[in-house]
Structure 1
Amino acid sequence: MPYLAELIKSINFNEPFTPPSNWFQGRTVYGGLSSALALQSIIAEIESEQNLRLRSAQIAFIGVMAENLEFKSKLLKQSKSSRWYQVDGFSNGELGLSVTFLFTQDRASQIAHDFSPSQQVKSPEHYQRLQHPLAPASLANLDLRPAGGSMPVSGSYHPELIAWIKHLDDDGVNPYVSLLALADGLPPAAMTTFSEFAPISSMNWNLDILRPIEQSEWHLIRSYSLFAEHGYSYQQMQLWDQNGNLILQGTQTVAIYL
């Protein structure tokens, strides 16, 4: 069962490939992984540019990403301090994923403030790893430890999930690729209000990365559904490093079949 590090090393992006079954959620690859693979497909070009780092991404989960995956990229625009890339992912020749990445360099500025929220939780060793027979196969690649909010399919009134999370092995993986493969690791927050299991699917994911990514074994992740109606939920997402620094925030539209 290859974890992230082994999987990334095994992929040749010059030819179609099929991820192993332990990275699937139902009939499609886990969305965090497909997003991370889109980034990995262009990371060599970005790494060659000094001080250029991922700042934001707009990710559309258009269809199934399962077999014979291919990623095609193009540079949309380049300026002195930024680059926009579009990466499309295909499965058996059909479009399944479309991502727009923004990479920037830091610039001198007089403006600096930080009003980012924080979470008061204990350290990861105080919580137990989530293991459930109905959990998707992809969860086996992560150590996910609920640390607050509600549990999935608990009939909760409060649609919030908070957990410590880490890869079981991401050694040598670019930290931004590792982050994307981690940051969508929670179930959609609306699932906490379910009283029975039902299909649910992420449709898009918009994210901003606030700080340069440094090594952090554990991350604290939160997802909260702000509004749900007519078969769709709209959720906010945050991710902190082990030192309590907010490093990623995002939003997601989720389709609910219940």
Structure 2
Amino acid sequence: MDFETLIQGGRQTGAHAMAFHVPETWMQGRTTYGGLTSALCLKAAMPTSGGRPIRSAQIAFVGPVSGDVECTATLLREGKNTVFTSVRMMGETGVAAEAIFAFGTHRESRLNFAHLPAPAVSAPEETVSFFGDSPRRPAFTRNFNMRLVQGKPPMSGAAEADMSLWMRHKDGSVAPDALSVLALADAPPPAAMAMLSEPARISSMTWMAEFLTDDIRTEDGWFLARHVAEASKDGYNSQAMTLWNTSGDPVMIGRQTIAVFA
């Protein structure tokens, strides 16, 4: 099932509640892929936004989930310019995710800058596939095209945990909007996995994403992501990410906490 079919196939179950079915093709091991979990929560929250663009998303991946899920949105506060909404995703075994979204209207400001230059890399069409035909790739990754342009792949024993990839939805009809970008941005494996020399189990715990524009656009669906693991201690890894469009304009920044069983 492609992304658009899944996201538009949500069934209204209450005033601010939606039910979805996650197929095996969107699984990451025994749980739903985190980017899709986030996008489903955002889909449920959007009717509370009053048409305001998304500015920030904070998601806690509480438990494993698959199959049928229900997302219930709660409007926390609506001001003149901003809206705060929480979303709880429930699965068959209980709470699967908790999210808080901040929506905000566009305002003119004397402050207008972004010190986030995109790395100089080869174009997507000049870069080979990240996964190729590997049968070991997680099921959800087959919904995306990913191409490694800087850094080392997982389990390569690298000295650094810094990778950059071109990414897009494999379905070329997916529009570059907040939902599709949130679903895409979490697709790469944790950068720290490049420092390992053998497979290890990992689990995303929390993810914070900030949208830097309400005008999301790019060429042919491609976005450039850079993921950098900044610290790893006591079995928990902290990494930063940045997402640019094909013009080099920053679209999103974020942070992620990951449990590493290695």
TM-score band by shorter chain is over 0.9
Alignment match, 2:31? 28
- TM-score under structure 1 length normalisation: 0.93
Alignment match, 1:96? 96
Q: What letter is aligned with 1:41?
A: A
Runs of 4+ in 1 over 4 A off after TM superposition: none
Displacement after TM superposition at 1:128 (Å): 1.3
Residue 21 of structure 2, aligned match among 18, 21, 25: 18
Residue 193 of structure 2, aligned match among 184, 191, 194: 191
CA RMSD, Structure 1 to Structure 2 (Å): 1.6
Q: Is 2:55 aligned against 1:55? A: yes
1:255 alignment partner, SS class? strand
Alignment partners' CA distance in 2, 1:250 and 1:162: 14
Deviation track 1:57-101 (CA, whole Å, cap 9, x = no partner) reads: 111011112132010110011111000000010111501100100
1:71 alignment partner, SS class? strand
Alignment partners' CA distance in 1, 2:127 and 2:174: 27
1:1-258 → structure 2 map (5 Å cutoff): 2-14=1-13, 16-46=19-49, 49=51, 52-92=52-92, 94-131=94-131, 132-169=134-171, 171=173, 175-216=177-218, 217-258=221-262
Displacement after TM superposition at 1:150 (Å): 1.2
1:42 alignment partner, SS class? helix
Q: What letter is aligned with 1:3?
A: D
1:116 alignment partner, SS class? coil
Unaligned ranges ≥5, structure 1: none
The answer on whether the counterparts of 2:213 and 2:251 sit within 8 Å (CA) in structure 1 is: yes
Alignment partners' CA distance in 1, 2:85 and 2:172: 25
Deviation track 1:162-199 (CA, whole Å, cap 9, x = no partner) reads: 10000012636671100110000100111111111010
The answer on whether the counterparts of 1:176 and 1:213 sit within 8 Å (CA) in structure 2 is: no
Unaligned ranges ≥5, structure 2: none
Q: What letter is aligned with 1:252?
A: Q
Deviation track 1:177-235 (CA, whole Å, cap 9, x = no partner) reads: 00110000100111111111010011000111111232321000111100111111110
Displacement after TM superposition at 1:45 (Å): 4.3
Q: What letter is aligned with 1:165?
A: M
The answer on whether the counterparts of 1:73 and 1:87 sit within 8 Å (CA) in structure 2 is: yes
Alignment partners' CA distance in 2, 1:170 and 1:95: 33
Compared CA separation, residues 26 and 79, structure 1 to 2 (3 A): same
The answer on whether the counterparts of 2:3 and 2:174 sit within 8 Å (CA) in structure 1 is: no
Q: What letter is aligned with 2:127?
A: Y
2:142 alignment partner, SS class? helix
